[in-house]
Amino acid sequence: MHSSFSIKVTAAVLMSASTNKQSKTLSNLTRQRRPKTAYSLFLYLSLLATLPVISRADSQLLIQIEHPWLRAVPDAMDMTAAYMILKNTGSTPAELVGGSTSIADSVAPMITTKEGQGLKQMLGMKAVDSLNIPARGTLVLEPNGNHLMVMGLKEHPKEGARVDFTIKIEPGHQEIHLQIPVSKTPVK
């Protein structure tokens, strides 16, 4: 089951990514070594190409974003937060490293911290380099938890508006472009 899926993905990517660096390198290699028959050339190429292309295919194609929303905030605030569910349907882990939007200066992944016990317990937030999206797993960004902090607001879009938002994923410097709804409460 799994291997047939991988081969399909590989084939699809080989066909669509004929201009990428990897296939150029591969054709140079094969020219130097001069394999005897067309059949062995094909096998050799597929073998060489399979592993790196699968990981590229996973990281390029297999992150899905669900229920994104940006918190509507009063004009007095110069920051807000974006929430969403990131689903990784691939077999390699990915990292959410940040994002960008035209309505703010910067976007950064944050975690919520808890320190101390009982009444003295304090909640805080802390910037992190990235948030992990496990292979075949999900990363949930939600109120009171992990989130994308949006800093230096230049506009204050109101409830019901939509704003352009770009999510940055590694590896592969991927960018996912979204139009996310602005809301005071979670968008289901």
Partner 1 sequence: MNLTSRETSTSQTAAGKSSSSNWWLLTAAIPILAAIAISIPIAFKQEAQKGFFGTRMFPLKSAYDFKLNGSNSEEVRLDQLHGKVALFIFGFTHCANVCPTSLTNLAAVYQALTPKEQKQVQFIFISVDPKRDTPKMLEQYVTSFDPRFMGLTGRKPVIDEVVQAYGASYEMVRGTTDLPNDYSVNHSAYAYLVNPSGMWELLYDNEKLADVQQMVSDIRKVLRESSLH
Q: Which of 73, 107, 139, 178 touches partner 1 by CB under 8 A?
A: 73
List strand residue ranges (DSSP E) for the chain, in order.
63-71, 79-88, 94-100, 104-115, 122-127, 131-133, 138-141, 147-153, 162-170, 174-183
Per the DSSP assignment, residues forming a β-bridge with 70 are 82, 182
Q: Give the span between the Cα atoms of 130 and 140, in whole angstroms.
A: 13
Residue from 19, 37, 119, 177 touching partner 1 (CB under 8 A): that is 119
The CA distance from 6 to 86, in Å, is 22
Q: How many residues bind partner 1 (CB under 8 A)?
A: 33
Q: Considering only residues 121-160, where is the footprint of partner 1 by CB under 8 A?
A: 121-125, 127, 143-145, 147, 149-151
Sites for partner 1 among residues 74-93 (CB under 8 A): 74-81
The reply to whether 188 sits near partner 1 by the rule CB under 8 A is no
Residue position matching structure tokens 């409830």: 159
**Taking CB under 8 A as the rule, does residue 97 contact partner 1?**
no
Residues at the site binding partner 1, with contacts judged by CB under 8 A: 71, 73-81, 110, 112-113, 115-116, 118-125, 127, 143-145, 147, 149-151, 184-185
